[in-house]
Chains A and B, each alone.
Chain A
Amino acid sequence: MRGLLSTVAALIVLWLVNSGHYTPLLLGLGAVSVLLVAFLAGRMAAVDGVWPDGPPLWRVPGYLVWLLGQIVAANLDVLRRIWRGPASLSPRLVELPLSMRSEWAQALYANSITLTPGTVTVDIGGGRLLVHALSEGAAAGLADGAMARRVQSLER
């Protein structure tokens, strides 16, 4: 039920922001669209057996601000390597333990790794992540586990 309600709430906000026309006709069309999409999402959740879960919403902004800082720092590092040329690279594949329990936290961790330039999640499974890192520093930054701890703290 919580999944259904938050899906409907997110869809309503999305419609209102993108429409900008608040006449009865367009609001009515919006309501029909929201209900249709919520119905389809409900059918997909029925196939999976559960509604997709997520972190408590009030904790998300803090994580996003921290992640934004990481993204900017990682971008500057990759930019430097682009202009220095391939000699500045030391690419490698590294395996990381996957310490989160919930699926959304695993997906958030894997996507955060890929979103920061210099590290890309290649494969996931068996409680481990396979990550391609552009340099020794990028691999060491992940191995130190700061990002994993942040994502895990969203679970609690």
Chain B
Amino acid sequence: MSAVVDGLAWAAIGLGVFVCFSGAFGLLRFPDFYSRLHAAGVTDTLGAGLVLLGLMLQAGWSLAAAKLALILLFAWVSGPTASHVLARAARHDGLEPWTGAEGRRR
């Protein structure tokens, strides 16, 4: 494999690790259930996407790359489905979203 592709692959994986870490950080830092869902979404979409893109570059044109693309496809379908179900359950349970005022006073 050429050094350029190798470098791109590691750049994508490194960026992906940073994005996943940021998502986890936001999950802890954000104020309420609903806003934390958005932080988790960052890890699910761009974080997973960049790591898998890096792995696809490492794999080259092969069956392994096609399988990695399938993993990404399924993650991008099941992730939002789970997020939606969680948000809907919280709403049905009567959980009101945080709107800012209270959090700023603290």
User: B-contacting residues of A (Cβ < 8 Å)?
Assistant: 14, 17-18, 20, 71-72, 75, 78-79, 81-83, 85-87, 89-93, 110-111, 114-123, 130, 132, 134
Q: Is the CB of A82 within 8 A of B26?
A: yes
A-B pairs, top 4 by smallest CB distance, nearest first, are: A114-B80, A82-B26, A75-B46, A117-B41
Given contacts A75-B45, A90-B100, contact A17 B67 (CB under 8 A): yes
* Number of interface residues, chain B, beta carbon within 8 A: 39
Of all chain A residues, which has the CB nearest B30?
A86
Contact pick for B81, options A83, A111, A118, CB 8 Å? A111
Contact with A along B70-102 (1 / 0, CB 8 A): 100000110111011001100100000111100
- Which residues from A are CB-within-8-Å of B87? 120-122, 132
Query: A136 CA to B55 CA in the complex, in Å?
Result: 36
Q: Is the CB of A91 within 8 A of B34?
A: yes
Q: Is the CB of B76 within 8 A of A120?
A: no
In the complex, B31 has a CB within 8 A of chain A: yes
Q: Is the CB of B81 within 8 A of A78?
A: no
In the complex, B37 has a CB within 8 A of chain A: yes
Contact pick for B84, options A90, A116, A122, CB 8 Å? A122
Q: Considering the complex, which residues of chain B in the window 32-63 have a beta carbon less than 8 Å from any beta carbon of chain A?
A: 32, 34-35, 37-39, 41-42, 45-46, 49, 63
In the complex, B66 has a CB within 8 A of chain A: yes
- Which residues from B are CB-within-8-Å of A111? 77, 80-81, 84
- Which residue of A91, A92, A116 has the most chain B CB atoms within 10 A of its CB atom? A91
26 A-B contacts (beta carbon < 8 Å):
A72-B46, A75-B19, A78-B39, A79-B22, A81-B26, A82-B26, A83-B25, A85-B29, A86-B31, A89-B35, A89-B100, A90-B99, A91-B35, A110-B84, A111-B84, A114-B84, A115-B76, A116-B41, A117-B41, A120-B38, A120-B80, A120-B87, A122-B34, A122-B84, A122-B88, A134-B35
